[in-house]
Amino acid sequence: MDRRQFAPATERNREPIFDALKGWLPSLGTVLEIASGSGEHAVFFAPKVKPLKWQPSNFDREQIDSVTDWRAYKPSDNLLPPVKLDVTGKKWPVESETYENLPITAIFNANMIHISPWQTCEGLMAGAGRILPTGGRLFLYGPFKFNGRHTAASNEKFESWLKSLDPGYGVRDVEAVLKEASKNDLRHLLARPMPANNFLHLFEKN
């Protein structure tokens, strides 16, 4: 049985995201992808970032299964099996003494913090602050508000839809995200505008 999931937005945004990532990725170590979703980003990025390793992760079992089957469909020797990871957990599986692919030198997260409770952003920043070495980088992709304002009417409509699913969801104000990063010793290096009214934010561990 083919358990692969398909996300049309991933196919549209993977090229621009990789173009934005490639000049900032470290040369060695492992990239931890938080909330890998279907796994389509992982199988696209991994072969392009060698000798870096790419570590997918998900919380949802069906998404873990999707990543597993995408990895079988498009294997790459640096694409690791997905791990189950709760971003709000006090200790991530990559912090276990038995984890064999250290160091985690970068973290990539796309389209998570707006379609989950605010605690996921807090957990993401806390985890990045714990595990990244000095100079390690966090890449955060998705829609954002600036000074409480949306960057496009379509994002405002999108947020209304998100809040109809759960009042705790919503397009996050970038100032709140940057404040959470700073609390965890992560400094903001840049905000790069991306297609479809998204941004890629880059943080670095002090």
Give the pLDDT confidence of 23-81 residue by residue, as tens digits: 999 999 999 999 999 999 999 999 999 999 999 999 999 999 999 999 999 999 999 99
Continuous segment of H or E residues that includes residue 204: strand 198-205
User: In this structure, is residue 1 part of a structural domain?
Assistant: no
Write down the pTM of the prediction: 0.97
pLDDT at residue number 1: 87
Total tally of structural domains belonging to the chain: 1
User: In this structure, is residue 60 part of a structural domain?
Assistant: yes
Burial of 100 (0-12, 13-18, 19+ CB in 10 A): exposed
User: In this structure, is residue 188 part of a structural domain?
Assistant: yes
The torsion defined by the Cα of 163, 13, 132 and 87, in degrees rounded to 10, comes to: 30
User: In this structure, is residue 17 part of a structural domain?
Assistant: yes
pLDDT at residue number 42: 98
CATH number of the domain that 45 lies in?
A: 3.40.50.150
User: In this structure, is residue 123 part of a structural domain?
Assistant: yes
User: In this structure, is residue 115 part of a structural domain?
Assistant: yes
- C-alpha neighbours within 13 Å on the C-beta side of residue 116: 19
Q: What does the alpha-carbon distance between residue 90 and residue 20 come to, in Å, rounded to a whole number?
A: 30
CB 199 within 8 A of CB 191: yes
| DSSP state at residue 37 | T
Written as six digits, the tokens of 37 are 């979703």
Give the pLDDT confidence of 145-190 residue by residue, as tens digits: 999 999 999 999 999 999 999 999 999 999 999 999 999 999 999 9
pLDDT at residue number 200: 98
Which residues span the domain enclosing 45?
A: 8-205
User: In this structure, is residue 2 part of a structural domain?
Assistant: no
User: In this structure, is residue 3 part of a structural domain?
Assistant: no
Give the pLDDT confidence of 117-154 residue by residue, as tens digits: 999 999 999 999 999 999 999 999 999 999 999 999 99
Q: What does the alpha-carbon distance between residue 150 and residue 111 come to, in Å, rounded to a whole number?
A: 16
Q: What is the mean pLDDT of the chain?
A: 96
CB 206 within 8 A of CB 134: yes
pLDDT at residue number 11: 86
